[in-house]
């Protein structure tokens, strides 16, 4: 039953889900869903530029996503438009410019749908290695930066006053997001990356008692969604990227339904889940 491509897909997808769990929590806590979307959309510009200038695809996407997030910081400092409006401009502008550049390059045939919605079943061994290598790097960085990241999420001024350098943490967070988007693009696609960040984290919130448990739970729930989505996609012959997101959504809905039961348990004994 397990063809080789399916094992590769499973390995890549689970590796990615484990990586994005903690980052997704920060996206939720910091209310940066739209920001994540914007960075993801800019990935198409990265794809277009990599084809145009014959650059490494992952590097190019990483560079463009980083540039867009830095540009956003710069525009925010000038303070003429709200962050919301700036994100709206950057998000769709980079997507549109990417599409236009691609359409100009009549000499290359690219699988646009593959980039937009991902093609996890086509991942190569090198892709799997990239996911796991990059993922370990990202997770290591997140663990190293954990305290400043959490503290500056709660209150940047508090973090600054007590010597944790929130600006550095923020910059590092943006670089990690750019890296994750570059890695994730092939697997769930530009349009669905943010859902893999947000939905497992939102699901994990129901069960978590601390930022650490929420981050861990988000990773586990993401991995379950990837596995469920891929098996579903195989069984029902549905597109793999969207199937993963649908599986994540199903887990989220299940957590909403089980919420009532959890609340009762919470009230009867706070010791449950209090450790760790």
Partner 1 sequence: MLQTNAGNLSPLVSLAGMGVRRQGRWLVRDVDFSIAPGEIVTLIGPNGSGKSTTAKAAIGVFRPDEGRVERRAGLRVGYVPQKLAIDWTMPLTVERLMTLTGPLKGAETEAALAATGIAHLARAEVQHLSGGEFQRALLARAIARKPDLLVLDEPVQGVDFSGEIALYDLIKTIRNRTGCGILLISHDLHVVMAETDTVICLNGHVCCRGTPETVSRSEEYRQLFGVRASETLAFYSHHHDHTHLPDGRVLHADGSITDSCRPDDGHHEQVLPNGRAGPMRIVHAHGPDCACGHDHGPAEGSEAAEARRDV
Binding residues for partner 1, per CB under 8 A? 28-31, 79, 147, 150-151, 153-155, 157-164, 202, 205, 208-211, 213-214, 270, 274
Q: State which residue, 212 or 231, has the beta carbon closest to partner 1.
A: 212
Closest distance of CB 28 from partner 1, Å: 5
CB 32 within 8 A of CB 249: no
Shortest Cβ 256–partner 1 spacing (Å): 14
- ∠ at Cα 122 (120, 124), nearest 5°? 105
Q: How far apart are CA 145 and CA 150, in angstroms?
A: 9
To the nearest whole angstrom, how small is the minimum distance from the Cβ of residue 248 to partner 1? 17
Q: Is 128 helix (H, G, I), strand (E, B) or coil?
A: helix
Considering the complex, what minimum distance in angstroms separates the CB of residue 192 from partner 1? 21
- Residue 103's nearest CA partner among 51, 39, 43 is 51
- Using the minimum distance from each CB to partner 1, give the nearer residue, 28 or 192: 28
Count Cβ atoms below 10 Å from residue 210 Cβ, excluding itself: 13
State the minimum distance, in angstroms, from the CB of residue 31 to partner 1: 7
In the chain, the largest separation of any two C-alpha atoms, in whole Å, equals: 66
Cα end-to-end span (Å), the chain: 38
Query: CB 90 → partner 1: shortest distance, Å?
Result: 24
Residue (50 or 153) nearer to partner 1, CB = 153
With b for 16 or more beta-carbon neighbours within 10 A and e for fewer, the 5-43 pattern comes to ebebbbbbbbbbbbbbbbbbbbbbbeebbebbbbbbbbb
Nearer to partner 1, 103 or 270 (CB): 270
| Complex with partner 1: residue 1 or 79, whichever CB lies closer | 79
Which of residues 94 and 216 has its CB atom nearest to partner 1 in the complex? 216
CB-based contacts of 188: which residues, under 8 Å, 6+ apart? 16, 117, 118, 120, 195, 196, 241, 244, 245
């Amino acid at each position: 039953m397990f063809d080789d491509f399916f094992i590769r897909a499973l390995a890549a997808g689970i590796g990615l889900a484990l990586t994005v769990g903690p980052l997704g929590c920060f996206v939720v806590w910091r209310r940066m869903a739209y920001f994540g979307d914007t960075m993801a959309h800019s990935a198409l510009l990265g794809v277009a530029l990599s084809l145009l200038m014959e650059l490494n695809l992952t590097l190019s996407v990483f560079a463009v996503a980083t540039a867009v997030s830095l540009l956003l910081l710069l525009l925010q400092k000038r303070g003429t438009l709200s962050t919301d409006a700036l994100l709206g401009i950057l998000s769709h502008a980079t997507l549109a410019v990417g599409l236009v550049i691609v359409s100009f390059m009549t000499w290359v045939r690219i699988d646009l749908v593959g980039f937009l919605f991902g093609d996890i079943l086509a991942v190569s061994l090198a892709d799997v290695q990239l996911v796991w290598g990059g993922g370990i790097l990202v997770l290591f960085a997140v663990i190293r930066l954990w305290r400043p990241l959490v503290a500056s999420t709660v209150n940047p001024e508090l973090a600054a006053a007590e010597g944790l350098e929130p600006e550095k943490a923020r910059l590092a967070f943006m670089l990690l997001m750019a890296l994750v988007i570059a890695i994730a693009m092939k697997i769930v696609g530009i349009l669905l990356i943010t859902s893999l960040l947000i939905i497992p984290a939102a699901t994990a919130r129901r069960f978590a008692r601390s930022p650490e448990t929420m981050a861990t739970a988000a990773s586990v729930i993401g991995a379950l969604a990837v596995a469920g989505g891929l098996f579903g996609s195989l069984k029902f012959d549905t597109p793999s990227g969207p199937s993963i997101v649908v599986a994540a959504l199903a887990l989220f809905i299940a957590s909403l339904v089980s919420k009532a039961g959890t609340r009762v348990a919470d009230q009867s004994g706070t010791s449950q889940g209090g450790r760790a």
